[in-house]
Structure 1
Amino acid sequence: MTVCASGVLTLANLERWEAPGPSLAVLGHPIGHSLSPAMHHAALARLAEHEPEYRSWRYHKFDVPPEELGRALPMLHEKGFVGLNLTIPHKVLAVGLVERIEPFAAEAGAVNTLRRTATGYEGFNTDGYGIVQAVEAAFAQPVRGRPVVLLGAGGAARAAAAAFLRAGCGGLHIGNRSAGSLEELLARMRPVAAETGTDLRGFLFAQPPDDLPADALVVNATSAGLRPDDPAPLDLVRLAGRPDVYDMIYNPALPPVLREARALGLRAAGGLSMLAHQGARALERWTGRPVDAAVMLRACEEALASR
């Protein structure tokens, strides 16, 4: 089996798959940057200290273009892959390609974790859990009662929006570059906001309102920052008080949103902790065992430092 230097596999590798033992994988396009294999192997090694069966489990990463996802999932099922993670651009697309999804994933309209059944895959969303755990740990403050300004309307933002509403945030303002995606997310979240009694508003980055809440939790769920010349989606100076800023991006370590936040002297944190928490919850779905997110976070930090 030929694998590129970054450990990335393709569907051509899958067609000739003969790897022994239970297999897990992350699918994305691109996927070379992913730290998921490092953190999952670290957690599996910890599980294997008490349950040796997990020594044979292996986690891989596959570059799968979005137009190939519908072909990839049946192939992965046929080859016996126990569980899958999905990242950009598959989280929304996969909703219509799995046999069933959990209620939270249906509410968010995005899945990032698939678990094998006898006939296909069932979908879960661990991103929502991951972001709430990450921001509460980063800023030592519960989401409940706190206003949130969420930047972005893609798959990760969908899960975050639903999770913040379910966690009882004190109002949710969602900003996005394009009006179509923003309105689609707002329409999906309005029933949740009505059920939870939460104020829900939207705005475009080109026309931010003057009344964004003070002392908000600001979460960047856009891809702005993955490229060195990306501008920040929102000027943080527009926010009153002392907002806390969390960026889901973890590589580079200092994307523009965090760079601006730190220049303003604000508390800020990057996305490694969310990656670890959502990964731990995903591995729990596959193994039925409790998983220590701290083990996964350390593995992510070490893998990132070695690059």
Structure 2
Amino acid sequence: MKRAFLLAGSASYTLSPAMHNAAFRALGARAHYEALALAAAELPEAVARLRDPGCLGANVTIPHKLAVVPLLDTLSEAARATGAVNTIVNRGGALEGHNTDAAGFMRALKEDGGYDPAGQEVVLLGAGGSARAVAYALLRSGVARLAVYNRTLERAHALARALGPYGELEVLSPAQLKGRVRSAALLVNTTSVGLSGVQEGASPLPEDALPRAMVCDIIYRPPQTTLLKRASAAGLAVQNGLPMLVYQGAEALTLWTGLPAPVAVMRAAAEAALAA
């Protein structure tokens, strides 16, 4: 039986095993997916084990998306651009790094959210691995203006420098944040503010700071964060992170198996696991 893994800092909250194992069953694939909780010091050994012939590869999540990059042999364009990897594929012992978060985010936004960000003004909160993927996807989609805010400004500047070849990212100061959010059409939160068990109930923005059209929060646990509740109450379109999770997972599954992913099966399994 083939194996695939999730390399995570904490594996207690993830929906990925339920989602991928349901997909393997639907495809008739003799494969099993398991989540591994790893400290930073354990990451190199865990990545080395992915070279085993019985291993398809792995997903990578917080806090390892950037740290895993130098441990790999090759990178896809999206992984090189973002400097972040969320999917590793074992090709005969050589490890390829991919970033399926970017494609997953944009597919979720357009297909599930019914929103095309082309020509729009967007504000992005956060500067970690997920933020890099979202920023890359937004720049490639042709947004008119993209601004990023992070509590640690140097991390925001690092993101802007990394993605400079793909378009301009303006780094916002705390004094600029509220006004720019209000003038934006779309706000995307990639921070952990609002996440169950971390900062649940909190919001990354003041109550009166909302964009004009839509709020996307890539958190899926809880299904509706305080930020999304406020946006929905104000009549804005909202989207949580579950569609992005499903679509990035579908991209990863196809990379591992070469088969079209059973997206409906994966979504149903993720929703059931979330409800449980």
Band of TM-score, shorter chain = over 0.9
Q: 1:243 aligns with which of 213, 231, 250?
A: 213
Q: How many residues align?
A: 274
Distance 2:179 2:187 in 1: 15
Distance 1:89 1:79 in 2: 26
Give structure 1 regions of 4+ aligned residues with deviation exceeding 3 angstroms: 204-207, 211-215
Give the equivalent residue in structure 2 for 1:23.
3
Give the equivalent residue in structure 2 for 1:234.
205
TM-score (norm 2): 0.93
Give the equivalent residue in structure 2 for 1:41.
21
- Give deviations 1:49-94, integer Å, cap 9, x for gaps: xxxxx1x211111111122111211123237321100000010111
Give the equivalent residue in structure 1 for 2:252.
282
Distance 2:180 2:218 in 1: 24
State the AA in 2 paired with 1:232.
Answer: S
Higher relative contact order (CA 8 A, sep 6+): 2
State the AA in 2 paired with 1:246.
Answer: C
Deviation of 1:236 (Å): 5.9
User: In terms of mean alpha carbon deviation, does 122-131 or 136-145 score higher?
Assistant: 136-145
Distance 1:264 1:165 in 2: 27
- Correspondence 1:294 to 2:272: no
- Correspondence 1:163 to 2:137: yes
Deviation of 1:254 (Å): 2.1
TM-score (norm 1): 0.84
State the AA in 2 paired with 1:36.
Answer: S
Please say if residues 173 and 212 of structure 1, whose CA atoms lie closer than 8 Å, have aligned partners that are also in contact.
no
Q: 2:185 aligns with which of 201, 216, 221?
A: 216
Give the equivalent residue in structure 2 for 1:253.
223
State the AA in 1 paired with 2:177.
Answer: P
Percentage of pairs with the same residue: 39
Give the equivalent residue in structure 2 for 1:181.
155
Give the equivalent residue in structure 1 for 2:75.
101
1:294 partner SS: helix
Q: 1:146 aligns with which of 120, 123, 131?
A: 120
Alignment root-mean-square deviation, CA: 1.8
State the AA in 2 paired with 1:132.
Answer: M
State the AA in 2 paired with 1:208.
Answer: L
- Give deviations 1:168-218, integer Å, cap 9, x for gaps: 12211111111110110011122210xxxxx53111446516244635121
User: Which consecutive residues of structure 1, in runs of 5 or more, have no partner in the other structure?
Assistant: 1-20, 49-53, 194-198
Distance 1:267 1:231, change over 3 A: same
Greater gyration radius: 1
Give the equivalent residue in structure 1 for 2:97.
123
User: In terms of mean alpha carbon deviation, does 201-210 or 245-254 score higher?
Assistant: 201-210
- Correspondence 1:135 to 2:106: no
Please say if residues 99 and 133 of structure 2, whose CA atoms lie closer than 8 Å, have aligned partners that are also in contact.
yes
Q: 1:62 aligns with which of 36, 50, 60?
A: 36
- Correspondence 1:90 to 2:64: yes
Distance 1:70 1:58, change over 3 A: same
Distance 1:305 1:229, change over 3 A: closer
